[in-house]
Chains A and B, each alone.
Chain A
Amino acid sequence: MKRLTSIGEFAAFQNRLSAARSPHIPTLVIPAGACGQASGANELIRAAKREIGHRQLEGRIRLRVTGCHGFCEMEPSVLVEPDRTFYPRVKPGAMARIVEATASGQVLGDLLFTDPATGVRVQKQDDVPFFRGQTRTLLSHMETTDPLRIESYVANGGYSAAIKVVERRDPRWVVNEVKASGLRGRGGAGFPTGLKWERLAQQRDGKGKFLVCNADEGDPGAYMDRSVLEGNPHSIIEGMIIGAYATGADTGIIYVRNEYPLAVKHLSIALAQARELGLVGRSILGTNFSFEIDLVKGAGAFVCGEETALIRSIEGKMGEPRQRPPFPIERGIDGKPTAINNVETWANIPLILRNGAEAFARTGTPGNSGTKIFSLVGKIRNTGLVEVTMGAAIQSIIHDIGGGPSGKARIKAVQTGGPSGGCIPAERFDLPIDYDSLAKAGSIMGSGGMIVMDENTCMVDIAKYFMSFLKDESCGKCFPCRKGTQRMHEILEDISKGQGTREQLELLEELAGAVKDTTMCGLGQTAPNPVLSTLHYFRREYLDHIERKRCPAGVCRDLISFSIGETCDGCHACVQVCPEGAIAGKKKQRHVIDPVKCVKCGACQSVCKSEAVFVA
């Protein structure tokens, strides 16, 4: 790659790449993010390459390996452009047929997606219910961009927003555009990005300023940032270049957790390519604007997602939050002004500058503009990444896009915002998803995790899980956070064992309130949310555990027992899987579980075909 030394050269480079795109040539798009690779995308890619080479179809069929498209449930999948045919759960053996059919312009009806509601086969990806309900402004770029090739990003209009900004030579205009777009921080707190940038731009002490991309995504069950980092790393780099021009920052840092090896790899490659092309570094495209971006790898502490802890971690110190004020915008990394934005916020910046602030502000609701990616996981049929406009009802995400519950049990609640968030019960699924409505309901928007729970999920157990996560991940500096999460976990454990008392329940509530009040950082202040929100909406379940010594969801092992009912046909399947040899019975006769030997692992229930194993 030749270093580009002027804006004119970049424009010529982009025009050349765009002209060579030839969108009419059939292209097999295979999503291979970390999730896709885990479900077998690499084998598909190998098979596709082999078949194309074998049939000498090079030039007539193209192959594009991209990041995750979002429909994790149906991966590995293949998308055929330009007619956007969608083949879900493709086996490597079927690749030959797909290649052949694509070459001759046919569609393989038997491999298409079947709508579970109607039983009709759907050809185009955009007609699949999961995709139909979404507004994919960020995720659609995952389909068109090969994350390992900067040419692919540039050909699709990439970096043109950054060039537009540099060419215009008006940092204040950029800040005003971002302000006008109404973009709010996607990390969870929802602070207006434009305002943050304006404050950073106002800091003038000549020591240098920092921009940080917070890619330390740590919420259990949330992976939207990972997919953007893996699938479209250049959009983050471009966003940061624009931010640097607007605020006068000279150094950018992408703080990415080391548990995302593919994201680290793609980011490093993207940074090297952007540097080689002259888009990052000293005198970008021959102008007097310089901006360097470094990659810092996080060592896996959840608390380092908190901005002051993140700053200390970047400085090479222990990841511990500190008192704000002074805010990072005044005193951040090495005491220099620092603005920290989330991955998704940065990815939105190029789109705002490319399409105009007005277009962005039009989507969503006033005060909550744009789209938001959620990772929809748990007891839901269509797990995956979902991008919707702000203000969409929870109902529409869960039932229309998510396709309802994965099993037979009714959906009971959804947990948003990770360990800092809360549970929202099914009765309140009419709530629009925006920062303020979720906060009012006792949860938070958070970075976008959405864990769906059905009636087989015990809310005491959920609260206990999050407390056990937080007692390990609290930095331990504030005494009430460190000890409070341990004590809350202790009480919840007592309750789930049937040893809880009403007094303990009161104590739990009192303690949760005190931890919320007295701790220093966002982690501690939101740590009691899982307890408080489940107590608020599902107090009945807590009381069942305490007074009736029963777990209504059949989860808490000390309060349940397994038994075999009359429908047992004596198939012996459960006898074979029982690790303790607790099941006895002759073939074709009803079996019996010995409650003394039974360890309540549930293996018998999972293999029983006649649904004869009951939990009570």
Chain B
Amino acid sequence: MVNLTINGLRVSVEQGATLLEATRFLGFPIPTLCHMDGLSPYGACRLCVVEIGQGPGTRLVSSCTYPAEEGLQVRTASSRVLRARRMVLELLLASCPQSKTIQDLASAHGVRRQRFRQEHEDCILCGLCVRMCSEQMMAGAIGFRNRGEGRSIGTPFDAKSEVCRLCGGCQYVCPACQLRCTYTEPDKAICGGCANLSAPCVEKERFDDMMCYLNPCVACEIRKD
């Protein structure tokens, strides 16, 4: 077991546990966008940053990837943490204003304005869909491409993937396009924007409903019973 202090409370967690697991065990709320139980930690959204260390040498680390260390001092809601989180949320809001998840997070953190030029992007490149596809669906149909400004998610060469079973797992986990994926009007239901993939049920003859996450599917409205 590893002993550490979180917000002044001493806690023992198992060797190999992350700071996020330890803090959530104690019940401290930490916002995340790119983390999901069952998928490997990635550390892309940086919303889950916490302050570690003591004195002048403290620093912020992403709690979802940082392992719990013996004697570590962790603060989950110091002013430095909150300031950083607000700035990340402001950046997110400026890029993806239409995501309900991001709107809710921003509101909960008191981010009521954003000072950057408004963009309308769909994907925040959190990588949940990529990990879902390879780690849970064992397909590995989509991945990251390019870097920096040009980074995107998609299938190799943007060609229709041969290993994709059209399960819809990628859409199910996407935090940015939830609003549209649960839209009530069927013809507007599938945006196709997330992960640059076409909708799972567009080609019905190839559709393998065994692995479909959407039940009932918002697009084809087939219910599995």
Chain A contacts for B60, CB-based, 8 A: 517-518
* Alpha-carbon distance A476/B127, docked complex (angstroms): 11
Task: Assess whether B46 is in contact with A519, with CB atoms less than 8 Å apart.
Answer: yes
Q: Which of A322, A487, A517 has the most CB of B within 10 A?
A: A517
> CB of B124 within 8 A of chain A?
yes
Task: Assess whether A518 is in contact with B46, with CB atoms less than 8 Å apart.
Answer: yes
Chain B contacts for A474, CB-based, 8 A: 147-148
Whose C-beta in chain B lies nearest to the C-beta of A514? B87
How far apart are A506's CB and chain B's nearest CB, in angstroms?
9
> CB of A325 within 8 A of chain B?
yes
* Alpha-carbon distance A46/B44, docked complex (angstroms): 55
Chain A contacts for B91, CB-based, 8 A: 479-480, 483-484, 487, 511
* Alpha-carbon distance A518/B83, docked complex (angstroms): 10
Binding site of A, secondary structure by majority: helix, strand, loop or mixed?
A: helix
Chain A contacts for B30, CB-based, 8 A: none
* Alpha-carbon distance A507/B116, docked complex (angstroms): 9
> A301-B147, A303-B147, A474-B148 known; A520 and B87 CB under 8 Å?
no
* Alpha-carbon distance A247/B65, docked complex (angstroms): 29
> CB of A472 within 8 A of chain B?
yes
Chain B contacts for A483, CB-based, 8 A: 91-92, 95
> CB of B62 within 8 A of chain A?
yes
Task: Assess whether B116 is in contact with A490, with CB atoms less than 8 Å apart.
Answer: yes
> CB of A427 within 8 A of chain B?
no
Contact string against B for A residues 111-126, beta-carbon threshold 8 Å, 1 for contact and 0 otherwise: 0000000000000000
How far apart are A441's CB and chain B's nearest CB, in angstroms?
18
Task: Assess whether B84 is in contact with A477, with CB atoms less than 8 Å apart.
Answer: no
> CB of B88 within 8 A of chain A?
yes
> CB of B117 within 8 A of chain A?
yes
> CB of A288 within 8 A of chain B?
no
Q: Please report which residues of chain B, range 41-85, place their CB below 8 angstroms from some CB of chain A when the two chains form the complex.
A: 41-46, 49, 59-62, 65-67, 69, 80, 83-84
> CB of B173 within 8 A of chain A?
no
Chain B contacts for A135, CB-based, 8 A: none
Chain A contacts for B80, CB-based, 8 A: 517
Chain B contacts for A475, CB-based, 8 A: 147-148, 151
Our pick among B59, B117, B127, B150 for the contact of A490 (Cβ within 8 Å) is B117
Whose C-beta in chain A lies nearest to the C-beta of B91? A483
How far apart are B61's CB and chain A's nearest CB, in angstroms?
8
> CB of B183 within 8 A of chain A?
no
How far apart are A546's CB and chain B's nearest CB, in angstroms?
15
Chain B contacts for A487, CB-based, 8 A: 91, 94, 116
Our pick among B41, B49, B115, B149 for the contact of A517 (Cβ within 8 Å) is B49
Q: Please report which residues of chain A, range 130-166, place their CB below 8 angstroms from some CB of chain B when the two chains form the complex.
A: none
> CB of A394 within 8 A of chain B?
no
How far apart are B153's CB and chain A's nearest CB, in angstroms?
11
Task: Assess whether A517 is in contact with B45, with CB atoms less than 8 Å apart.
Answer: no
Contact string against A for B residues 122-155, beta-carbon threshold 8 Å, 1 for contact and 0 otherwise: 0011110000000000000001101111110000
Counting chain B residues whose Cβ lies within 8 A of the other chain, the interface size class is: 35 or more
> CB of A612 within 8 A of chain B?
no
* Alpha-carbon distance A471/B84, docked complex (angstroms): 20
Chain B contacts for A325, CB-based, 8 A: 66-67, 69
Q: Please report which residues of chain B, range 195-218, place their CB below 8 angstroms from some CB of chain A when the two chains form the complex.
A: none
Chain A contacts for B67, CB-based, 8 A: 325-326
> A323-B65, A482-B125 known; A518 and B88 CB under 8 Å?
yes
* Alpha-carbon distance A474/B67, docked complex (angstroms): 25
> CB of A510 within 8 A of chain B?
yes
> CB of A473 within 8 A of chain B?
yes
Our pick among B88, B126, B149 for the contact of A472 (Cβ within 8 Å) is B149
How far apart are A579's CB and chain B's nearest CB, in angstroms?
30
* Alpha-carbon distance A480/B126, docked complex (angstroms): 12
Q: Please report which residues of chain B, range 145-172, place their CB below 8 angstroms from some CB of chain A when the two chains form the complex.
A: 146-151
> A490-B117, A511-B87 known; A479 and B46 CB under 8 Å?
yes
Contact string against B for A residues 483-504, beta-carbon threshold 8 Å, 1 for contact and 0 otherwise: 1111100100000000000011
Task: Assess whether B148 is in contact with A482, with CB atoms less than 8 Å apart.
Answer: yes
Q: Please report which residues of chain B, range 84-120, place their CB below 8 angstroms from some CB of chain A when the two chains form the complex.
A: 84, 87-88, 91-92, 94-95, 115-117
Task: Assess whether B92 is in contact with A479, with CB atoms less than 8 Å apart.
Answer: yes
Task: Assess whether A518 is in contact with B147, with CB atoms less than 8 Å apart.
Answer: no
> CB of A478 within 8 A of chain B?
yes
> CB of A318 within 8 A of chain B?
yes
Task: Assess whether B115 is in contact with A503, with CB atoms less than 8 Å apart.
Answer: yes
Whose C-beta in chain A lies nearest to the C-beta of B59? A517
Task: Assess whether B49 is in contact with A518, with CB atoms less than 8 Å apart.
Answer: yes
Whose C-beta in chain B lies nearest to the C-beta of A520? B43
> A483-B91, A487-B116 known; A518 and B84 CB under 8 Å?
yes
Task: Assess whether A471 is in contact with B148, with CB atoms less than 8 Å apart.
Answer: yes
Q: Which of B94, B115, B116, B148 has the most CB of A within 10 A?
A: B148
How far apart are B45's CB and chain A's nearest CB, in angstroms?
5
Q: Which of A323, A473, A507 has the most CB of B within 10 A?
A: A323
Show 27 A/B contacts (Cβ-Cβ < 8 Å), sorted by A: A301-B147, A318-B143, A318-B144, A322-B43, A322-B65, A323-B43, A470-B148, A472-B149, A473-B148, A479-B44, A479-B88, A479-B92, A479-B124, A479-B125, A479-B126, A480-B88, A482-B151, A483-B92, A485-B148, A487-B94, A490-B117, A507-B115, A507-B116, A514-B84, A514-B87, A514-B88, A517-B49
Known: A482-B148, A486-B149. 6 other contacts (CB 8 A): A472-B148, A477-B44, A477-B127, A480-B46, A517-B80, A518-B84
Going nearest first, the 4 A-B pairs with the smallest beta carbon separation are: A476-B151, A514-B87, A323-B65, A518-B46
